[in-house]
Amino acid sequence: MNTPTPAIVSERSAQRLPRLVLLLLCIAYVVPGVFGRDPWRNADLSAFGFMASLAKGSAPWWQPAIAGIPAEGGPLPYWLGALAIKLLPWLDAAVAARLPYALVLAGVLVLVWYAAFHLARTEAAQPIAFAFGGEAQLVDYARALADGALLAMIATLGLLLLGHETTPELLQLLAASCYLYGLAAAPYRPGRSRLAVFAALPLLAASGAPSVALWLGALGLVLAHRSSYEAAQRLRVWLLASMATAVLAAWLFDAWAWRLRPMADVPALINLIAWFTWPALPMSLWALWRWRSHRLRRHITIPLVCALVPLGACVAMNGADRALLLALPALAVLAAFALPTLQRGFAAAVDWFSVLFFSAFVLFVWIYYLSMHTGWPAQPLANVRKLAAGFEPSFQLLPLLLGAAGTLAWLALVRWRTARHRHAIWKSLALPAGGVAAVWLLVMTLLLPPLDYARSLTPLLASVRPHLPLDAPCVAGRGLSLPTLAALQFQGGWRMEARSDVASSACPYALLQAGQSMPPGWVLVAEVRRPTDRSGAQALSVLRRP
């Protein structure tokens, strides 16, 4: 006898999110941050440097390198940005490299929607049938849950910044979402499902996560073997082929690397997981509890397996947030299955928290924007000048219009959600997702100039430029970080050489990181640093041969 499901969903509760609203929400989440900024420090800037090295011919396509230092993992993610730079020469190189990754993020959202849609169509996931009719129809119910999964993905805090970078991890996220879709769609779209699982694991391995790919493939084999759907069982051959291709891809791209580190700080790990996966993880745990009598059904086991492998990788790598990123699509799908079972009190608490938190953040952004351009109130402008010394605001009309549109959209969403008689099962995620999108839009328009000034290395290049001629044949930079080398070479225009020691370098100029001792035979020209580097830890010493 089949166990009754915990989902009680009426026909009117299975209404789908209006498609125009859903499209605008995705645009507001994906597009801001693509234009109008330089690559930001650390991983974003390093990845851009590897892409530019290929596009500008300073490194072979098989081995991206910055100033002679090769990239770890495979070159596949860097090919994507390099090809965009080559194909769009009229665009700024950083913007061109960012465009395909914006499409990758959009693809992740689409795959999450379809994965949830197909899992919600399974018989075990259906809501309880009412005695006199009126329960949700199968397709309507699946669409409503898929909308909820998409909202949960957008609302997840961990995706916000990492999802808008041009790094290999975003391609890994696409591969993980594709694999989740492939397993979910097997009974209904067998052809697409086979192609998805066959492509996903090699893509994941070639992007720098071969171990995760093999673990996902092995557990996927177990799920396919025990599935009651014949089409899902036929995935076994395709999964084996995908795993073999993943091993070959990892070997060809030299993607194998030992990244395991002992877990040193358990409270920090718990804190990372808690905020990074909010609100998808709490809702996923609730879904696992409410659907515990169906825990071996495919709508639970598939996303659970696809979430546990990245979570295990995060723990094994001592809290690596980029490994945890791969768990978000599966957690978003699991969170969607919590929606038909949420109690009214919990939903109300989420709504009020979202209204208060995101409205306060929106107000905070506008106060800082007003202060930057009018001087009132004075303290926010003083804070900006303290944190971003040397930054001077300049008014632009388009960001103001976009920020105003985003604010009005947020107010309209709050008005809609706080009105009575809202029955859609995805309603509890409307405010969290809308709040994240609104805040991201406002920050990437109204506060983008000071944020870009603080997070990019463009101000550092401006400090170096008066002391380092652009026509220098080369500049020695052994010991500099990869982001700094990338900025100097591909934004500043100097040819950097970081393979040989500064003391033995044939370059007429050199740059040393703060704390490095000056070798004999060199003369100190100047010491420079970013205006926002108040500690001087990232200061550079400009040297030349006498």
429: helix, coil or strand?
Answer: helix
Residue partners of 437: CB distance under 8 A and separation at least 6: 25, 28, 29, 154, 406
Tokens representing 145?
Answer: 């849950």
pLDDT tens for the chain, 546 residues long, are: 456 789 888 888 888 899 999 999 999 999 999 999 999 989 999 999 999 999 999 999 999 999 999 998 889 999 999 999 999 999 999 999 999 999 999 999 999 999 999 999 998 999 988 866 778 899 999 999 999 999 999 999 999 999 999 999 999 999 999 999 999 999 999 999 999 999 999 999 999 999 999 999 999 999 999 998 999 999 999 999 999 999 999 998 887 776 677 666 888 999 999 999 999 999 999 999 999 988 889 999 999 999 999 999 999 888 889 999 999 999 999 999 999 998 888 888 888 999 999 999 999 999 999 999 999 999 999 999 888 888 989 999 999 999 999 999 999 999 988 876 567 899 999 999 999 999 999 999 999 999 999 999 999 999 999 999 999 999 999 989 999 999 999 999 999 999 988 888 899 999 998 778 888 889 999 999 888 877 767 789 999 998
Backbone φ, ψ for residue 543 (5° rounding): -120, 155
For CA atoms 142, 113, 119, 285, the dihedral sign is: negative
pLDDT at 420: 64
- What count of other Cβ atoms lies within 10 Å of the Cβ of residue 230? 10
Tokens representing 216?
Answer: 């996902």
Chain centre to alpha carbon of residue 260: 22
Three-state secondary structure along 89-148?
CCCCHHHHHHHHHHHHHHHHHHHHHHHHHHHHCCHHHCCCCCCCCCECCHHHHHHHHHHH
**Long-range contacts of 21-27, Cβ-Cβ distance < 8 Å, separation of 24 or more:** 22/147, 22/150, 24/409, 25/154, 25/433, 25/434, 25/437, 26/106, 26/109, 26/150, 26/154
Nearest residue to 30 (alpha-carbon basis) of 399, 538, 440: 440
Tokens representing 318?
Answer: 């001592």
Alpha helices in 208-343 (DSSP H): 210-226, 230-233, 235-252, 266-276, 280-290, 298-316, 321-324, 328-336
Strand partners, 541: 512, 527
pLDDT at 361: 97
> β-strands 496-497, 475-476: how paired?
parallel
Nearest residue to 361 (alpha-carbon basis) of 276, 451, 447, 439: 439
Q: CA-to-CA distance for 451 and 453, rounded, in angstroms?
A: 5
Let me know the angle formed at the C-alpha of 25 by 24 and 29, rounded to the nearest 5 degrees.
Answer: 115
Nearest residue to 144 (alpha-carbon basis) of 438, 422, 413: 422
DSSP 527: E
pLDDT at 1: 42
Domain ranges across the chain: 17-259, 344-455, 458-544
Residues 453, 459 contacting (CB under 8 angstroms): yes
Strand partners, 543: 510, 524
Q: CA-to-CA distance for 103 and 253, rounded, in angstroms?
A: 24
Q: CA-to-CA distance for 215 and 210, rounded, in angstroms?
A: 9
Tokens representing 189?
Answer: 């779209």
Chain centre to alpha carbon of residue 404: 25
Question: How big is the chain, counted in residues?
Answer: 546
Topology at the third CATH level for domain 458-544: D-Maltodextrin-Binding Protein; domain 2 (3.40.190)
pLDDT at 345: 83
Q: Is the pTM higher than 0.85?
A: yes
